[in-house]
Amino acid sequence: MKGWDLFEVARRIIPGGTQLLSKRPSMFLPQQWPSYFAKARGTEVTDLDGKTYIDMSMMGIGACVLGYADPDVDRAVKAAIDDGVATTLNAPEEVELAELLLELHPWAGMVRYSRGGGEAMAIAVRIARAHTGRDKIAFCGYHGWSDWYLAANLGEDEALDAHLLPGLEPRGVPRGLQGTALPFHYNQIDELKSIVKSNRDSLAAIVMEPQRGNEPAPGFLQEIRTIASEIGAVLIFDEITTGFRMTDGGIHLLLNVSPDIAVFAKAMANGYAMSAVIGTEEVMQAAQSTFISSTNWTERIGPVAALATIRKFRRYKVADHLIAIGNQVMDGWKTAARKAGLKLHASGLPSLCHFAFEHEEELVLTTLFTQIMLEKGYLACTQFKPSFAHTQQQVDGFLVALEDAFAILAESLDRGTSASLLKGPVAQRGFYRLT
């Protein structure tokens, strides 16, 4: 298989083999995952061997919300390329996009841009620290690779373990940052209160996703908003993954709580590199009092792609489609599991859903599931991030294949053959050094 062979080369010359943990083939199906794509369109991905699969997994890790190579977004990008993407002058689309983001989020007054999610979070945290003149950050959830965040694991190996990616190592993060990133768990307001109690005057920001796996407990977000305002900390909502999936903009618009800063990336530009930090004028002005500046944050493709993506997202009510398709797949997982007699727990937002087998051989089962589905022509794992390009027909076909796959899994459990049916090693989970 050309893809896996190429990944073997990559592992020797690119540490980790790829730039994103979630694209490591060993996380899906070691030695069998197609690993690289030659072409992608709609929901279809063609690998280096010329095999085409329907992506019923993560659609560009949540970035390609409209589908791969969306014709409207790509037309706008190609026109921008023809007119030049980087000059000594600025791209006017930056202003147009800022106006659009502010129209969607009326609580915000100013916008800055970068090109990745993690770097946008680093910008947001810098602005919060500059605005408050304080150092510490209380946070919940995963927020990228930056020093400010990994500092939570300095001297305390397990602080980040319940925050989406367990085992993140803080090597290379200055020891001096120890004690500056203080974790609390979602819906555990008392944990935040206890952080606030001992750090009232040193908290620059409270950083969190407004919602991800669980619904907010009644009053949870409102209480956080009140605490942030009371102690003068900046409330930062990380909407990198939740933005432009449940509504036109951040999910916080549905939850009726306004932050001081919200951060977008991924779905906002359908896979083109783009991220935005939006915030109240008062807080965002602090970006002027510190140095936040980079050449490639001024190129034209990102804003052009974001404008085309967001306009299409609104025009076609894409969020409704994602929610409908996501609900069908979630129901499909549950129904297929029930029919096969497998124990499975499905959870998450419909447009960001996932499941887990409730079985001691869970990892063997998920690996075998991916192997069986790949043979049936699907990229499938325990997560599903629907896109506008997923059709009813594709979902129906997937659900038939799914029932068949789950029946095979159940039978393998009965016979004790699950592990022996695997044609390669079991998938890796979390952050483990890739050997």
Ligand X SMILES: Cc1ncc(COP(=O)(O)O)c(C=O)c1O
Long-range CB contacts for residues 418-421, cutoff 8 Å, separation at least 24: 418/361, 418/364, 418/365, 418/368, 419/361, 419/364, 421/368, 421/371
Which amino acid, 148? Answer: W
Closest distance to ligand X from the beta carbon of 315 (Å): 25
Helix (H) / strand (E) containing 110 = strand 110-114
Query: In this complex, which beta carbon is closest to ligand X, that of residue 110 or of residue 122?
Result: 122
Binding window for ligand X (CB under 6 A); candidates: 9-17, 129-137, 142-150, 247-255: 142-150
Query: In this complex, which beta carbon is closest to ligand X, that of residue 116 or of residue 424?
Result: 116
Helix (H) / strand (E) containing 54 = strand 52-55
Select the residue interacting with ligand X from 45, 138, 240, 395 (CB under 6 A).
Answer: 240
Q: Does 115 bind ligand X (CB under 6 A)?
A: no
Beta partners for 47? 37
Rounded CA gap, 402 and 212, in Å? 25
Binding window for ligand X (CB under 6 A); candidates: 198-206, 213-221, 238-246, 301-309: 238-246
> How far out from the chain centre does Cα 12 lie?
27
Q: Does 67 bind ligand X (CB under 6 A)?
A: no
Select the residue interacting with ligand X from 68, 113, 142, 237 (CB under 6 A).
Answer: 142
Site for ligand X in 367-396 (CB under 6 A): none
Select the residue interacting with ligand X from 59, 76, 77, 121 (CB under 6 A).
Answer: 121
Q: Does 232 bind ligand X (CB under 6 A)?
A: no
CB 418 within 8 A of CB 365: yes
Site for ligand X in 186-215 (CB under 6 A): 209
Binding window for ligand X (CB under 6 A); candidates: 114-122, 216-224, 327-335, 352-360: 114-122
Q: Does 269 bind ligand X (CB under 6 A)?
A: no
# residues near ligand X by CB under 6 A: 13
Closest distance to ligand X from the beta carbon of 173 (Å): 16
Query: In this complex, which beta carbon is closest to ligand X, that of residue 121 or of residue 128?
Result: 121
CB 153 within 8 A of CB 198: no
Query: In this complex, which beta carbon is closest to ligand X, that of residue 141 or of residue 332?
Result: 141
Q: Does 125 bind ligand X (CB under 6 A)?
A: no
Rounded CA gap, 236 and 234, in Å? 6
Closest distance to ligand X from the beta carbon of 257 (Å): 17
Binding window for ligand X (CB under 6 A); candidates: 77-85, 136-144, 172-180, 229-237: 136-144
Q: Which of 273, 214, 266 is nearest to 241 (CA)?
A: 266
The residue number whose beta carbon is nearest to ligand X equals 117
Rg (CA), the chain: 22
Query: In this complex, which beta carbon is closest to ligand X, that of residue 143 or of residue 245?
Result: 143
Torsion angles phi and psi, residue 79, rounded to 5: -65, -40
Torsion angles phi and psi, residue 132, rounded to 5: -95, -20
Select the residue interacting with ligand X from 46, 107, 116, 314 (CB under 6 A).
Answer: 116
Q: Does 183 bind ligand X (CB under 6 A)?
A: no
Strands 344-349 and 352-357, by their bridges, are antiparallel
Longest Cα–Cα distance in the chain: 67
Q: Which of 405, 307, 428 is nearest to 56 (CA)?
A: 405
Q: Does 144 bind ligand X (CB under 6 A)?
A: yes
Rounded CA gap, 429 and 175, in Å? 27
Query: In this complex, which beta carbon is closest to ligand X, that of residue 55 or of residue 238?
Result: 238
Give 3-state DSSP helix, strand, coil % of the chain, rounded to 5. Answer: 45, 15, 40
Query: In this complex, which beta carbon is closest to ligand X, that of residue 54 or of residue 276?
Result: 276
CB 372 within 8 A of CB 32: no
Q: Does 238 bind ligand X (CB under 6 A)?
A: yes
Q: Does 123 bind ligand X (CB under 6 A)?
A: no
Q: Which residues bind ligand X (CB under 6 A)?
A: 116-118, 121, 141-144, 209, 238, 240-241, 265
